[in-house]
Structure 1
């Protein structure tokens, strides 16, 4: 059964009685009634929380589409992912001076990883906002699977000898640049609101 079917089945469970103390002399009947009561209560709780999640998701989707319509239009960027980028940018407006600062904040600024035997190599950054970095990773994986230009890029870079990890690092950096260019300019709008008007 699917999760939803299982919950609906549990919601329809009817214990023999709601007063379990009356079944104290029948251990098997008590056990069955207790299990049915517990499963029904858990299903009610799950259903309530699921309805709350759906309602909140609708609110978030509406607000994100209003705040950043261009961001949601990008391939692989849904309302939840776009919301994460808006939170990251909104919490750090003073730190995001340019696209490179946004990339560093998201943990996708290239980090040199050259050794005595290799030169010009870079690694994935372990710093920055981990939630934004995770959102970039999700967008990257979606594009690697369903976005033909990205798939062509992966194929070309693989033939050049790059590992999958290095290709993902490059893609995340490119996507961070694209995300930044489609973010609403929060810092500029706040600054504009704070400017005194001419009398």
Structure 2
């Protein structure tokens, strides 16, 4: 999927891990929320008393989650839009860890759009 490699921060290793996580039948991923849950970046409520927090889902494909983390770190280093988002959210009182959680979800949404727009792969035996 060359369009996946055109996204900022997505290298061949991360793209391969995310494509394997999505599988051949990417129609089973109904929407970006199901892809986010598959990658373990769907938020889970962790509230106590007056504090309302969310944390990442500990389930899902841990390799895909790590690939999203690497993409976010490279975007924070090289992409101005992500750095501005980090500064804005930390000024609002979010921790860097919470901002990375949000960015991983945004990246998962972007990657799902890329994967879902791709045609299904046709095996060589059927293409002839």
State the TM-score bracket (shorter-chain normalisation): 0.7 to 0.9
Distance (Å, rounded) in 1 between the aligned partners of 2:41 and 2:24: 18
Largest Rg, 1 or 2: 1
- What residue number does 1:85 align with? 18
- What residue number does 2:73 align with? 141
2:93 to 161, 169, 182: 161
2:44 to 66, 89, 111: 111
1:172 to 89, 94, 104: 104
- Bigger relative contact order, structure 1 or 2, given CA contacts below 8 A and separation 6+? 2
Distance (Å, rounded) in 1 between the aligned partners of 2:26 and 2:81: 32
**Runs of 5+ in structure 1 lacking a partner?**
1-67, 194-199
Distance (Å, rounded) in 2 between the aligned partners of 1:110 and 1:95: 21
Distance (Å, rounded) in 1 between the aligned partners of 2:92 and 2:79: 20
Shift >2 Å, 4+ stretches:
91-95
**Runs of 5+ in structure 2 lacking a partner?**
124-128
TM-score by length of 2: 0.87
Distance (Å, rounded) in 2 between the aligned partners of 1:93 and 1:178: 15
Structure whose residues are more often helix by fraction: 1
Summarize the Cα distance change of 1:147–1:124 in structure 2 as closer, same or farther, 3 Å threshold.
same
Distance (Å, rounded) in 2 between the aligned partners of 1:165 and 1:92: 32
